[in-house]
Amino acid sequence: MPLLEGKKALIFGVANHRSIAWAIAQAFAAEGASIALTYQERMEKYVRDLATRVPTAAVIPCDVQQDDQLDSAFAEAGEIFGGGLDILVHSVAYAPPSELENPFLETTRDGFHTALDISSYSLIAMAKRAKPLMQVRGGGSMLTLTYMASERVMPKYNVMAVAKAALECSVRYLAYELGEHNIRINAISAGPVNTLAARGISGFTGFREQMGHIAPLRRNIEQDEVGDAALFLCSDLARAITGDILFVDAGYNVMGAV
């Protein structure tokens, strides 16, 4: 039987075919899950085009900074999925470009607020709304995406690194509070992948090349490898895992200075 046969998954963060969220959606659909993808208004065309590649996929509009749109998105997902939800994927992150170009010392109050709101708080807002839908199903699994810059200095990642650190802390607190309801939550810390968001970071290409030489596996990772790890974490194979950060980076995180 497919790993996610009969499961209902709501996925936030698909922007285009290079998105990690799209790789996750493909992995889930291949293992029997029914999928709903959310989109921002400016990404609607790309998401709707991709959704045609997955027979069971639905599309739902949502701006994660708007509580009324989050309410509507989860209400619509509940209707699509017959009142329940098994899997939530949070693959959402953003900071104003200037905050990644300027020195970290020059981080603005507005830029800090935007980065933390979209990249970190949105997970809490989604989890709150997903909880009752997962309780209907007897439990569920939530997943978010993080990056090693939460622990180590990655020049030009700046306030986004702070947001990722907050995101990882949120995973632990949510794991504690949701565990009694048989709801698990984990994060994948992926290595640098060629996505739309990553290309907005100065020096990304050079760092990705460097990682390919330094990582124990002597290569970079691809989106589908993150998708496969997400499939594991959101399936019953990982039923005893929660509050964890799983590195999918060809082993780069274990290396010291080289």
Active site residue 46: no
> Which residue carries 């933390």 as its tokens?
116
Catalytic entry in 147, 173, 176, 252: 147
Active site residue 176: no
Catalytic entry in 39, 46, 157, 252: 157
- What does each C-alpha distance from 77 to 32, 84, 94, 155, 212 come to in angstroms? 17, 8, 24, 39, 39
What sign for the dihedral angle of Cα 190, 196, 201, 203? positive
Q: What contacts 119, CB < 8 A, 6 or more positions away?
A: 92, 93, 94, 95, 160, 163, 164, 166, 167
Residues 242, 16: Cα–Cα separation, whole Å: 29
The residues that are catalytic are 147, 157
